[in-house]
Structures are given as C-alpha cells and as structure tokens.
C-alpha cells in the first residue's frame, strides 16, 4: 500500500469507525492546545460537544462520502509536485520533481513532467505516455495472466486497506476537541489516542497502535479537511531485521473539494527517520496535488492516451 493512502486510511478510518462503533466522546479542556492555528484558523472554545447519537448519524454519511472519494480516486488523474529536502530549521531542497499521476485500472503510473523548472524531454515524455497506453490496453485483456496478476495485487492492497479500517475502532479512543475555522469553513476537531487494550495482529495494525492523530472534519460537508499523525514509539519490521520506523515521525494530509461532493488529497507531508536492513535514512518530503481530472476506467483512459499520442497535445494542459 502506498504511504499516502496508508496515512489517509489510518486517520480517517479510525475516526469514522470508532465513532460509528459508539466510542465514548469526551470534550477536552478548553485551554488544551490544538496546535498552532494558521492565519485563517480560529479556535472556538464554547461549542458544546456533539452527542453520541449525532456523531453516529454523521459518521454514516462520512463513511459513504469517503468510500465515494476512494473509489473516484482510482479513476482520476492529477499533477503532483514532489519536493524532498533536508531536515532541521533551515532545510534545502534535495529533489524537486513534478509528475502527472494517471490511473491504470490496477493502481497509478507517474509520468515525469518537470525536474525543478526544467520540462521533461518531449521524446522521453512520449515514451512514458506510450507506456501508459500499453498498460491500459493490457488491462482490457482480462484473460491475460499479466492482467490477472496486476489486478490480484491491486485487490490485495484494497483488502489490506479494508482490514485496517475494520480494526481501527479498537485501536483508538476518540475525543471531540472543539471547533476551528479553516479557510473560512467550520470544522470539528477530533483527537485520537492509542487504545492500550488493543492487540495488533499485522504490521499496519502495529504501526497505528503507536500513533496519536488529530483530524479536522468539515462540519457541513462531512469530509476530512486535514489530518496529522505523530509516531510515539519505534515500529519494527521483521523483528527489527528488515527495518524500523523511529519514533518522532510526523505525517499530515489535507483534502480539498475537486468537484461537487468529491474531496481528494491536496497535500501530503512526511518527516521521519527509518532504517531498512542496515541503512538508516531520513525522509522529509511534501507533495502538492492539483489539476484533478476524471479519466474514467481503462477503456476511456486509453482513448485519452491514444489521442494525446496522435495529436502530440496533452488533453488537460498539465504541462
């Protein structure tokens, strides 16, 4: 599962499933820090906490909305600006690349658009575009063993995601913090704390058992606006032999409305230290997603790719 969706599942599923399961809601003290408010973020201290019944009713709509978002994402293309940088108070950029992320019917493919401000070589981009068309054409051959393998792997990732959703109500306790306005919209703020009685059975469950999170939910739209997750303890993989994710890691996700009723990721950020086998490394990256456009299932997306190959012009002006 890619790290962007892992984070989204972690924070969102924990909220909606815990609320839907009837997790007790507690209002935190009014003077508890929500985190440094942004220029358009105002903390409201005097709102009454919603009742369990209100949260359960809203959670049903919230779940339906997120399922719709997740399903739509598999058929949308977008442009991602990905920047990796050093840590510390004065970071400098290590890598700056912009990709066109396109659907394949069994995941996504990245087509390089720019490195820094330098556009990709037109011949290289055409090769990438042809590779996308080839994958889409393969996905239409449902009896091809390669297609079956790709689809099976994609379905396995979806199953892992669903299993994480199913266990999230047991992994966290949920606290309603209050109300904030973000970008002029009223948002419910919720705090998620690890449940000490939760016993994980998979790597992903083990990871979320060491996380605290905070979530901002648009009050009117019942959509997740922002989520922040902090890693409290080290997470080992393969008993520590395969690797380790060290405590102190911070992950965030923001979503925005890309069409009426549809909210998709607009920004991710990762700051963590990890070890893979014997090699320790740091990751400090942010990804800004924009220019969403619906490409549809493989047959429709293939027509888009073929038209671009024939005309030499990108359909939606991502470059």
Q: How would you write the pLDDT of the chain (319 residues) with one tens digit per residue?
A: 344 434 433 444 444 443 333 333 444 444 443 344 444 544 545 567 788 778 777 767 877 787 788 888 889 999 999 999 988 778 889 999 999 999 999 999 999 999 999 999 999 999 999 999 999 999 999 999 999 999 999 888 877 776 776 676 678 887 888 899 988 889 988 888 888 888 888 777 777 788 898 889 999 999 989 989 898 888 887 777 788 888 888 989 999 999 999 999 999 998 988 888 888 888 899 999 999 999 999 999 999 999 999 998 877 765 5
Contacts 24+ apart (CB under 8 A), 298-302: 298/103, 298/104, 298/105, 298/136, 298/139, 298/140, 299/136, 299/140, 301/75, 301/77, 301/102, 301/103, 301/104, 301/105, 301/136, 302/133, 302/136, 302/137, 302/140
Q: Which of 35, 34, 15 is nearest to 25 (CA)?
A: 15
Domain locations in the chain as residue ranges: 3-29+42-311
pTM for this structure?
0.82
Contact (CB, 8 A) for 139 and 106: yes
């Amino acid at each position: 599962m890619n790290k962007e969706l892992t984070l989204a599942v972690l924070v969102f599923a924990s909220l909606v499933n815990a609320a839907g399961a009837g997790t007790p809601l507690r209002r935190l003290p009014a003077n508890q820090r929500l985190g440094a408010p942004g220029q358009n973020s105002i903390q409201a201290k005097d709102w009454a906490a919603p009742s369990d019944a209100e949260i359960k009713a809203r959670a049903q709509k919230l779940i339906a909305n997120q399922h719709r978002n997740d399903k739509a994402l598999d058929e949308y293309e977008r442009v991602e600006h990905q920047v990796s940088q050093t840590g510390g108070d004065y970071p400098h950029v290590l890598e700056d690349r912009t990709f066109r992320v396109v659907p394949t019917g069994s995941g996504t493919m990245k087509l390089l658009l720019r490195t820094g401000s330098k556009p990709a070589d037109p011949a290289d981009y055409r090769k990438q575009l042809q590779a996308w068309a080839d994958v889409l054409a393969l996905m239409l051959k449902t009896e091809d063993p390669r297609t079956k393998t790709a689809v099976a792997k994609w379905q396995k990732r979806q199953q892992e995601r669903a299993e994480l959703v199913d266990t999230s109500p047991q992994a966290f306790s949920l606290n309603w913090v209050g109300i904030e306005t973000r970008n002029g919209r009223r948002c419910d703020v919720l705090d998620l704390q690890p449940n000490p009685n939760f016993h994980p059975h998979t790597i992903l469950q083990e990871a979320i058992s060491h996380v605290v999170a905070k979530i901002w939910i648009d009050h009117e739209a019942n959509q997740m606006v922002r989520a922040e997750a902090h890693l409290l303890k080290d997470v080992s993989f393969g008993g520590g032999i395969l690797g380790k994710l060290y405590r102190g890691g911070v992950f965030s996700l923001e979503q925005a409305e890309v069409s009426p009723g549809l909210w998709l990721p607009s920004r991710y950020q990762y700051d963590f230290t990890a070890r893979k086998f014997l090699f320790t490394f740091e990751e400090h990256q942010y990804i800004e997603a924009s220019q969403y456009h619906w490409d549809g299932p493989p047959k429709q997306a293939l027509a888009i790719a073929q038209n671009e190959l024939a005309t030499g012009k990108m359909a939606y002006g991502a470059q």
